Amino acid sequence: MKTIKFSLLAFLFITFISCSSESDDPDEEQGDGTISSEIVDEWNLEAWDYSMTSSFEGISVTSLGEAKDINASIKFNSDNTFNFQGNYTVVMDIEGLTNEMPVNGASSTGDYSIDGYMLNLSNTLGEMQGQQVPSSGGGEMEIVEISENTLILRGEQEIVPEMAGMTSRIEVNEYYEFSR
């Protein structure tokens, strides 16, 4: 059970750090260029929380979570690539049961593009605690705020993973807050 919980959480976090858009064209217009240039830098993860509803074999479970003891960052490079790495502890509340799960050695790399206020990550490779984590292959994050010192992202996604030959459905809402 612990392996399933870890795999699901690893999949969830790397999936959102690794979500992709429908277009992977690097020549696609980058909004007005302002946000694209503002995002280039290393950003420290200050806060991350989520709500998730998982449906599996007719059973639906809701969980809420947030990160603490965060030592993680994402770097957006001027060549439209990104690198995420770090450690954190996820405090999960699943149907009233609270559990803490340390996550060490999370990482993800790939490409990014910006269209208006939408951040799209693609061609991603993720790893968590030595285990490779697949990308979901869909989704995007809204840039809620970007300023000299703050980057706030919000994501909504529906994921339909297959684990051990069984399919589930996961609906996730996430919030990320970064600082320089």
- pLDDT tens, position by position, 111-124: 999 999 999 988 77
Q: Quote the CA–CA distance of 21 and 24 in Å, as a whole number.
A: 7
Q: What is the pTM of this model?
A: 0.74
Query: How is the chain split into domains, by residue range?
Result: 2-179
Q: pLDDT band at residue 28, thresholds of 50, 70 and 90? A: very low
What is 2-179's CATH number? 2.40.128
> Minimal CA–CA distance to 180: which of 1, 47, 45?
45
CA pair distance 162, 159, nearest whole angstrom: 10
Whether the pLDDT of residue 153 is over 60: the answer is: yes
Q: From CA 35, how far away is CA 20, in angstroms rounded?
A: 18
Pair 97, 116: CB distance under 8 Å: no
- Whole-angstrom distance, CA of residue 40 vs CA of residue 175: 20
- Do residues 29 and 49 make contact, with C-beta atoms less than 8 angstroms apart? no
